[in-house]
A and B are shown apart, each in its own frame.
Chain A
């Protein structure tokens, strides 16, 4: 069975602090994809990053960075020098090909509050 666990329900930080959002996944598939999405108050989920199971390179995009470790089945997301605009719910998701289509499994989300 596939599963995505985001153990942190809510995190509060003060602006300019660094913050890491944890994501642990379970799958028996050898080929799979991992995603992070941001859900601002407006409601729609905004795509941030995708990683495939064969690419364990860490990635940095501006203040955002992602650490993918297959050995621990984790795909953690770090925001450096957080800003108030980073306040949102963040979802980690797993996707694998199953029964003729890609199925997406989402974690329960982590609500990040960045205080001014």
Chain B
């Protein structure tokens, strides 16, 4: 079945460590997004990418990095520079060819906890 796979589902990290969250989609979507979700807050955009080898900062990019070497993959690295990384991270995608009505397709998320 087509969809977005995020891994790991749960991740624990010690302070000062970098961690990478995986996001893979087999929907052949062009655009991919990373959002952060904190309790009581909406989703906030970290990074997005509309094409391979190109990506743009979102509203809260500081302390994060991404790459887009393949169309289907958009990994997110949470670096030690991110002051408060404990959160729920959601990856999303959408086509850019006008084939859908504009909605985002989401993965099941990765919950990162810093110890």
Counting residue pairs across A and B whose Cβ atoms lie within 8 Å, the total is: 53
For the side of the interface on A, what is the size category? 20 to 34
Please measure, in the bound complex, the distance between the C-alpha atom of A9 and the C-alpha atom of B4, giving whole angstroms. 28
Considering only CB atoms and an 8 Å cut-off, how many residues of chain B contact the other chain? 26
Indicate if the CB atoms of B104 and A91 lie closer than 8 Å.
Answer: no
Nearest CB of A to B88, in Å: 7
Which of chain A's residues has its CB closest to B90's CB? A45
B103 touches A103 (CB 8 A): no
Give the dominant DSSP class at A's interface. strand
Residue in contact with A43 in the complex, picked from B33, B102, B109, CB distance below 8 Å: B109
Any chain B CB within 8 A of the CB of A33?
A: yes
Cross-interface CB contact of B101 among A44, A50, A104, A107, cutoff 8 Å: A50
Indicate if B107 sits at the interface (CB-CB under 8 A): yes
Question: Is the pair A106, B108 in contact by a Cβ cutoff of 8 Å?
Answer: no
| B interface residue numbers (CB < 8 A to A) | 4, 31, 33, 35, 40-45, 48, 50, 56, 88, 90, 92, 101-109, 111
Which of A's residues lie within 8 Å of B, judged by CB? 4, 9, 33, 35, 37, 42-47, 50, 91, 95, 101-109
